[in-house]
Amino acid sequence: MFHRDGLKGKVVILTGACRGIGRTLAIELARGGASLVILSRIPSELSDTARAVKFAGGKVLSFKADISKVGHIKEVVDRTVSGFGRIDVLVNNAAVIGPVKPLSRIEENEWDSIFSINLKGVFLFSKAVIPHMIKQGDGRIINVISGLGDVLIPVLGAYSIAKAGVAHLTRVLAEELKAYNIRVNGYYHNVLTRRVSPC
């Protein structure tokens, strides 16, 4: 996903940084010389990942935040700019899998919850960093996309529909922002095999 040689001095906001791929990415980014801004809804996980980032040699700011809430996103972005002076990269990694059941049995609040995090959160966070990247004259947004957005597994329907939306959001943003030297890419995460690959 990243070349270490190009990370030194970069400021990276990483959502979903405290588990799985997100935690691994945070540590690898720190080893490459990036300054990290990590967020999670679970404070204990934040503390653990922040320690791992510091042990890997990285600077880190951590925030308890919900990416479905625009106020939380604004605070993270504002404090990133005041703390590090810029935002070079946003990695939209945070996502939830559930509810695991057929679409016909999903309640409205369950539907709203998964889309608020898996799709709306990606949109809101991207929207929040774009003005800063335009002002800088460069930037990069990376959206972690699931291969399930392209296949049919009925009990994971809500998740796969949201991730298909993220894939198309990525394509639209890439076209809209290329004139500003902002690159928008997607990386496939296969929730069944845990593999990540560029797309």
Q: Of 86, 92, 90, which is closest to residue 9 (Cα–Cα)?
A: 86
Helices and strands (H, E) in the chain, number of each type: 6, 7
Work out the pLDDT band at 1, boundaries 50, 70, 90.
low
The residues pairing with 40 across neighbouring beta strands, listed in sequence order, are 64
Residue with tokens 């994971």: 156
Q: Does residue 187 carry a catalytic annotation?
A: no
Please state whether beta strands 139-146 and 11-15 pair in parallel, antiparallel, or not at all (unpaired). unpaired
CB atoms within 10 A of CB 47: 13
The runs of H, that is alpha helices, within the chain are 20-31, 43-55, 70-84, 108-115, 121-136, 157-177
Q: Residue 85: pLDDT above 70? A: yes
In this prediction, residue 20 carries a pLDDT of 86
Residue range 21-67, pLDDT digits in tens: 899 999 999 999 999 999 988 888 889 999 999 999 999 999 999 99
Helix, strand, or coil (residue 99):
coil
- Residue 154's identity, in one-letter code, is P
Selected catalytic residue, list 159, 180, 187, 188: 159
In this prediction, residue 199 carries a pLDDT of 31
Token pair of 23, please? 């935690």
More confident position, 132 or 188: 132
Residue range 143-198, pLDDT digits in tens: 998 766 566 788 888 989 999 999 999 999 999 999 999 999 998 665 444 444 33
